[in-house]
Amino acid sequence: MSDCYPHVARRRDRIEPAGDCTREEAHKRLRLLRPLLEVLGAKLRRPGLLSEKAIDSIGTLLCPPVNGPMAASNPLAEHFRSLLVDPPTDSTTVYPRVRLQLRTHETIAVEAAEALDTRQRLSCLAVRGTGEMARRLDKQERALSDLTVELDEHGTTLVVRQQKNPLRAVVVLTPSVNKGAKPKRNALEATLPENQSRVLADLFEGAGKGRLGQLRAEPLSAVYMPPPPSQSDGSHLLPVWITEHLATIAQDLFRLHVLATAPMPEGTSRLLYFDRASVHRNTNPRYYKGREHMLVRCGLHAASSACVCGLHGHSCTTPFRLLEFRIELCGASFEQRDGRRCCPRHCGEDIEPQESARFPGVCTRCLKVQLWCCHERKATEPGAKPPPRSDGGLRMDMTGLLQNADDTLTKPPPGAWMLDSVREMAACACAMIKPEHTGSSVIELKADADNAMASLERECHARGHVDAHLGKLDQTCVWLLRRGGGKYCRRVQKIEVNGKRKIPEDPPDVALTHGHLFKMQK
């Protein structure tokens, strides 16, 4: 399932099976865990590992460090020991929680993913909300499991990690820590005797099978996100399937992977991943009076994000946060006024309503596409003016790419044929937040969106707007952006470098397809 959305970061429990056990399954695993701990206690010369109130009890190893007279008798020690040895049977007790998880991926850093060969790199998935990647393990690397026992809501866990050696036992004990602190783990490791081989085998039996091998399904509908205390309006988190469509538009039409690669050192390339996408209705009269609109915000994952301010000669003194792809449109619902159907924002204008054919009901005028290089905001005194806009990072307007309607150009030109597809996806995102689009109606909405993207793909192939033709232009654009000083002169559709126009010996001109990625020539 994850292969269907290669450009979207996924939650960890949507990448590999979580393996959550029912209460009955949890008790079964805990009964199988006790013989392993008894063998480890004897092997490691810890006779009191499972004994009540023993100084070398496993409960003591699961407690956070304590100074003073309570160091040898932490009151939580007996509580954790009893949860493992004699777990509660009543249905009201929440802990312990047990997961038997088959490891199909390994978590690696972005830099490690970039160093992989092409086959393995394409098997990596971005992990949502982190700066990490999940690499799918090869067939010969898989079939190892983790048994995780959660003992409280503060992060106290016991993990039994399966090893390639069937007699090797590794138990990792992690006490709870304060937020932001690094946990101090304890490990129990030993090689079991031959006659105890079934102790580990029985413990991991059934991992990745049946219900324990099922991935959590991705929701099809948008999810409402309440606003933070400092704001009044909430937002809607878009599902993965439409986020993938938006990422495809950003890559195939706007070539954002080029901009993600350009800030990186020579010899490094970046793939395009969206961390998430959300829809916001901006109606605050203090900021948007007369220009209320719908905003689709797509934050790029850390694997695709780096500050691009320097590429345009823009400096920013605050720390970089992320790159954000934004699509803005009116998005207002139509209403009846003076016997005609119109948009509340544009009703005073003598124009016909403009809406999507596939996703009608909202105004699609005032379309704007931008890329924001978002930085941390400077702290201001209470009542003081907000910091100037220039301090917030670069704002790149990319709408001009959709306004070139010249289909007679020799190179695969962008332009008006792209505009309808961008409007359709923006209108679809606006339709997603309507309360009536749940259940079966969302399935119909997804089918229409899939058809719209299939039509766009056919149009791209018919016009030659594909990677096979644009790959060389992508490389040239990266070189020019890294070199610095390039500006896009829209009037003549040329890239000027240090005030000089292109000559025949220069690299191919990228103005028609990549001009929106450069600083605009005034």
Strands 519-520, 486-489: pairing is parallel
Closest CA to 495 of 473, 475, 512: 512
CB 33 within 8 A of CB 160: yes
Q: For 96-155, what is each residue's pLDDT tens digit?
A: 999 999 988 999 999 999 999 999 999 999 999 999 999 999 888 877 999 999 999 988
Pairing status of strand 494-497 against strand 486-489: antiparallel
Each residue's pLDDT tens digit, 11-63 = 988 999 989 999 999 999 999 999 999 999 999 999 999 998 888 899 989 98
> Could you tell me where the DSSP H helices lie in 209-255?
240-252
Structure-token match 């961008």, residue found: 422
Tens-place pLDDT, residues 375-428:
988 776 666 666 555 567 899 999 988 875 444 444 445 667 899 999 999 999
What pLDDT score does 279 carry? 96
From residue 332, alpha-carbon distances to 78, 365, 425, 430, 470 in Å are 61, 10, 15, 9, 36
> Residue 408 has what pLDDT?
46
* Per-residue pLDDT reduced to its tens digit, 165-215: 999 999 999 998 776 667 788 999 999 999 998 999 999 999 999 989 888
Query: Contact at 8 Å (CB) between 247 and 273?
Result: yes
Tell me which long-range contacts 132-137 makes (C-beta under 8 A, separation of at least 24).
Answer: 132/107, 132/108, 133/107, 133/108, 133/109, 133/303, 134/10, 134/12, 134/15, 134/16, 134/105, 134/106, 134/107, 134/108, 135/105, 135/106, 135/107, 135/108, 136/104, 136/105, 137/103, 137/104, 137/105, 137/106
pLDDT of residue 326: 97
* C-alpha to C-alpha distance for 266 and 478, rounded to whole angstroms: 10
pLDDT, position 272: 96
Read off the amino acid at residue 397: D
* Cis preceding-peptide flag for 96 (omega within 30 of 0): yes
* 510 and 476 Cβ atoms separated by less than 8 Å: yes
How far is it, in rounded angstroms, from Cα 27 to Cα 113?
Answer: 39
- Indicate the DSSP class of residue 333: B
pLDDT on residue 236: 95
| Mean per-residue pLDDT over the chain, rounded | 87
Q: How far apart are CA 308 and CA 473, in angstroms?
A: 19
DSSP state of 224: E
DSSP characters for 54-70? Answer: -TT-HHHHTSPP--STT
Alpha helices, DSSP H, located in 175-254: 197-204, 240-252
Helices (H) and strands (E) in the chain, counts: 13, 20
Q: Contact 203/33 with Cβ under 8 angstroms?
A: yes
- Whole-angstrom Cα distance, residue 13 to residue 218? 10
* Backbone phi and psi for residue 362, each to the nearest 5 degrees, phi listed first: -130, 150
- Residue 5 φ then ψ, to 5°: -130, 70
Closest of 321, 327, 347, 323 to residue 335, by C-alpha? 347
Number of Cβ atoms within 10 Å of the Cβ of 205: 13
Residue matched to tokens 């866990």: 157
DSSP letter for 130, please: S
- Give residue limits of the domains in the chain: 11-104+142-213, 223-376+390-404+412-465
More confident residue, 501 or 375: 375
Query: Do 272 and 247 form a contact (C-beta atoms < 8 A)?
Result: yes
Instruction: Sheet containing 132-136: give its strands across.
Output: 105-109, 132-136, 124-126
In Å, how far from its chain's centre is CA 114?
17
